[in-house]
Amino acid sequence: MKIESFLVEERLALLRRSGVAITAADEKRVGDSVAASLKALASAVDGSLFDTEPQSFDTTMRKLAGGGAK
Amino acid sequence: MTEIADWSLTATADAIATRKVSAREVTEAALARIAQRQPALNAFIRVDEAGARAAAITADNALAAGRSLAPLHGIPLAHKDMFYRPGVPVTCGSAIRRNFRPDYLATVLARLDAAGAITVGALNMSEFANGPTGHNVHFGPTRNPWNTAHITGGSSSGSGTAVAGRMIYGSLGSDTGGSIRLPGGICGVYGIKATQGRVSRYGAMGLSFSLDNIGPLARTAADCARLLGVIAGPDQDDATAASVPVDDYEAALGLGAKGLRIAVATNHYWDGMSPEVGDVLEAALTELGRLGVSVSRRAVPYHTELRGLGNIVASTEFCTLHDDWLRNQHDQYAPLVRARMKQGYAFTAVEYLKAIQVRPRLIKAFVDDVFGTADALLLPVLRFPVPVITETDVGDGDSMNEVLGSINHCTWPINYLGLPGLSVPAGFSKNGLPVGFQLVGRPFAEAMLFRLAGAYERATGWPDRHPPLAA
């Protein structure tokens, strides 16, 4: 999936509005990183998250547990 | 005859228990070794000689009075400078917190205290645990005891070099994207990032509350198992600490590896593998095969997604915790540290929460796929020989993302998955620096990882190799 440049530009606008000092190098670095991360998110969230349970990290880990050494 | 400071933690604990050596002698040996090697390694931010000596006297008096022994009775330890003890300075490796003194006690320190350990000081670290190399502009870089021109890995940099340099018997570090496993593998010691929630984080500096883990670094698998056994378990002060029972990790070490199954990831984690590191890892796999482990090679899923999702979660949580200081004390951060944090401002709340909400689904799919046919997944720690300090001193320059991303390439994805990962010494590259591998398991399968590591250690004896520092 291609992350459109305007989407990255929106994120850079968020960064500029944060009130934190920003350099041109920051913008380049953040732009690259955000594009890759949003692409990963789009790939991982394929469709709706409507049918997911709330805060289920802990229960998932317990259900998948492989305790013991045998 | 080996010097006391070179003994393993468990051997030293046994020697104290049987009164072959006193806690005072052990502590003096550690303090002498620290004084000797600190100038070369820069492992410590602070050494508390008086406090350590007083604690050693108390430990010896308790033993003389016949009081029951705890598993770390009289053992000198030191920890990454991010664990809170009332009234004791905790810098977090930063200028911003240089004069901070907490008013409460970290659960992990309380458990080590109760187990009889002696704290001899605080260890250097990457600023706010943010950086995988061991550079620190405020306290200077830590140096690798196998060759002081080379990095230690980070962010638990002082933990790696102090343990490998035989200054202390074990230490605590933290791991948000590899910060225990990298200095473990790079310094040639063991380091475990246990399952997310296995170890309480109460009273430990936070970096990313969804991905942070506290864990030990130590010279032998048994030392590491003992330390994890002491600190693991539920905690009424930390709602995220898991209630799952803690296994007997030390008992697992002696079970042997015959019949176990290891999967080796052939994609992503092996991409760009240097031939000499690859040769060491292949030799390790051959040795595991000789021990009766079946080795299968396969592609593992989601590596690209895991890096990106971990980045969204980590960077947003960095900004959440550091927002006030990033606005008002911006120049107090190292350029690299503040540059890494800023990207969190560029994600929306919906994107962050999607990355959190999809996490259990990805973990289940990964575990079902990989651990349906394997007891552990073997990954490199680094894919290339340990680099020198100067070539990785990138600051916030153009190469920052590339250099740092290459170092945590194999460790970073595991934190989003929340799975346990143990770095194991596996040999040496041609430059004489350590090569390590990670064993990754199902949730709460730390005992299985120690079982494999114990068998491999007995077969190879890597912990018997000492760094070539002047005696």
Q: What is the ipTM of this complex?
A: 0.94
Check residue B69 and give its pLDDT: 75
- Within 8 A of A12 by CB-CB distance, chain B residues are 346
Q: Give the three-class secondary structure for B113.
A: helix
Domain count, chain B: 1
* pLDDT tens series, chain B, 471 aa: 579 999 999 999 999 999 999 999 999 999 999 999 999 999 999 999 999 999 999 999 999 999 867 999 999 999 999 999 999 999 999 999 999 999 999 999 999 999 999 999 999 999 999 999 999 999 999 999 999 999 999 999 999 999 999 999 999 999 999 999 999 999 999 999 999 999 999 999 999 999 999 999 999 999 999 999 999 999 999 999 999 999 999 999 999 999 999 999 989 999 999 999 999 999 999 999 999 999 999 999 999 899 999 999 999 999 999 999 999 999 999 999 999 899 999 999 999 999 999 999 999 999 999 999 999 999 999 999 999 999 998 888 888 888 899 999 999 999 999 999 999 999 999 999 999 999 999 999 999 999 999 999 999 999 889 998 744
Give the chain A residue nearest B352 (alpha carbons).
A41
Residue with tokens 């350990």: B117
- Measured between CB atoms, does B259 come within 8 Å of chain A? no
In a domain, B136, yes or no: yes
CA–CA distance, B387 with B380 (Å, rounded to integer): 15
List the beta strands (DSSP E) in B258-384: 261-265, 294-298, 376-380
Domain boundaries, chain A: 1-45
In a domain, B41, yes or no: yes
Known catalytic membership, residue B8:
no
For residue B309 the two structure tokens come to 């999702």
Which of the residues B22, B94, B155, B174 is marked catalytic?
Answer: B155
Size of interface A-B (CB pairs under 8 A): 153
pLDDT-derived band at A1 (thresholds 50, 70, 90) equals low
Strands B118-123 and B76-80: parallel
- Within 8 A of B345 by CB-CB distance, chain A residues are 14-15, 18, 20
Handedness of CA B406, B410, B411, B413 (dihedral sign): positive
For residue B447 the two structure tokens come to 């005992």
- Measured between CB atoms, does B266 come within 8 Å of chain A? no
- Measured between CB atoms, does B36 come within 8 Å of chain A? no
Known catalytic membership, residue B94:
no
Check residue B409 and give its pLDDT: 96
In a domain, B338, yes or no: no
Known catalytic membership, residue B179:
yes
Give the chain B residue nearest A38 (alpha carbons).
B308
Check residue A2 and give its pLDDT: 65
CA–CA distance, B334 with B389 (Å, rounded to integer): 16
Task: Express each pLDDT in B262-288 by its tens digit.
Answer: 999 989 999 999 999 999 999 999 999
- Within 8 A of A36 by CB-CB distance, chain B residues are 307-308, 311
- Residue B352 sits at the vertex; the CA angle it makes with B349 and B356, to the nearest 5 degrees, is 130
CA–CA distance, B176 with B379 (Å, rounded to integer): 17
Which of the residues B94, B126, B179, B315 is marked catalytic?
Answer: B179
Give B134-166 as a DSSP string. Answer: ---TTT----BTTBTTB---SSSHHHHHHHHTT
Q: What does the DSSP 8-state code read for residue B375?
A: S
In a domain, B335, yes or no: no
Quote the minimal CA–CA distance from A49 to chain B in Å.
Answer: 7
- Domain harbouring B154, CATH code: 3.90.1300.10
Q: Which domain holds residue B450?
A: 4-304+356-464
